[in-house]
Amino acid sequence: MAKVGLQLYTVKDETAKDFFGTIRKVGRMGYDGVEFAGYFGAKAADLKKVLAESGLKAAGSILVLEEFEKDLAGVLAYGKEVGCPAMLVPGIWGDDVSTAEGVRRSADRMNRVGAACKKLGMKFLFHIHGTEFADLGGRTPMDILLERCDPALVNFEADVYWIEHAGVDAVQFLKQHGKRCPYIHCKDFKDRTTKRDVEVGAGAIDMRGVVRQARRDGAEWFIVEQEAFDMPPMESAVISLRNLRRLVTEH
């Protein structure tokens, strides 16, 4: 059964104040694991212990590509010790995504990081952020990434909010490329006009269709993420978990 995790950026204010305490609260909510967006100076051994005490798995950790390249051995050793099955890059911007040459160059850089991850038994995933669907003269950055990134080394975390935000149907995208998306970022929006964040399963995105297709393709993790709220983020995270757990278990 696919697992349900929380991207800790959802509760970034809480983690900044009390990283370990927030992780323990997430464990009590009933999540299966967490995806990291920073470690707040925690030692890997201490973080691993807190996860175990909280009944949580490390789903993965997101760092910008430059952080991997600056200290690849150290970054991967930390992730391995904590128990991350995957390391992730949150996207590419500027010239790296606005030109075909930049996208190809970024893909080659990611292949090198992915090869290092593979040696340690970890996946390396690119988090789709919407900018990858811009037109580059008849092709998109996403087309180039799918072609240039070696599937044995680099695959994808499909953020359905950003895919839909870019005007692409998330379910259709997964029907085409879901086999390369073992992680799904489940992030919803209230309507297609404002695109304001809302709890997973309470908005306009066909989250049921997303989960159904992703399950067919063997998705391993469904990760809740939210950035704007109409209630305290910790309360929001409970609602998203409840809604997403229902969808995951009914398919």
pTM (two decimals): 0.97
pLDDT at residue 175, as a whole number: 98
Average pLDDT of 93-104?
95
Q: Say whether pLDDT at 250 is over 90.
A: no
Find, among 156, 149, 160, 153, the residue nearest to 213 by Cα. Answer: 160
Cα(223)–Cα(201) distance, integer angstroms: 13
Taking residues 16-21, what's their average pLDDT? 98
What integer is the mean pLDDT of 113-132?
97
CA-nearest of 244, 182, 174, 187 to 219 is 182
For position 251, what pLDDT does the model report?
Answer: 61
Residue-level length of the chain: 251
- Out of 93-97, 184-188, 205-209, least confident range: 93-97
88 forms bridges with which residues in the sheet? 62, 125
The pLDDT value recorded for residue 243 is: 97
Please say if the pLDDT value at position 1 is more than 80: no
- Supply φ then ψ for residue 35, to 5 degrees: -110, 130
pLDDT tens figures, 187-221: 999 999 999 999 999 999 999 999 999 999 999 99
Secondary structure letter of residue 229 according to DSSP: -
CA separation, residue 47 to residues 36, 56, 120 (Å): 11, 11, 20
3-state secondary structure of 146: helix
pLDDT for 69-92, tens place per residue? 999 999 999 999 999 999 999 999
Average pLDDT, whole number, for the chain?
A: 97
Give the domain ranges of the chain.
3-249
Question: What is the mean predicted confidence (pLDDT) over 109-114?
Answer: 98
**pLDDT confidence of residue 131:** 95
Local confidence band at 62 (pLDDT 50, 70, 90 cut-offs): very high
pLDDT band per the 50, 70, 90 thresholds, residue 124? very high
Rounded mean pLDDT of 36-63?
98
The CATH label, of 3.40.50.620, 1.10.1200.10, 3.20.20.150, 3.20.20.70, for the domain at 3-249 is 3.20.20.150
Q: Are 82 and 58 in contact (CB under 8 A)?
A: yes
Q: Are 56 and 27 in contact (CB under 8 A)?
A: yes
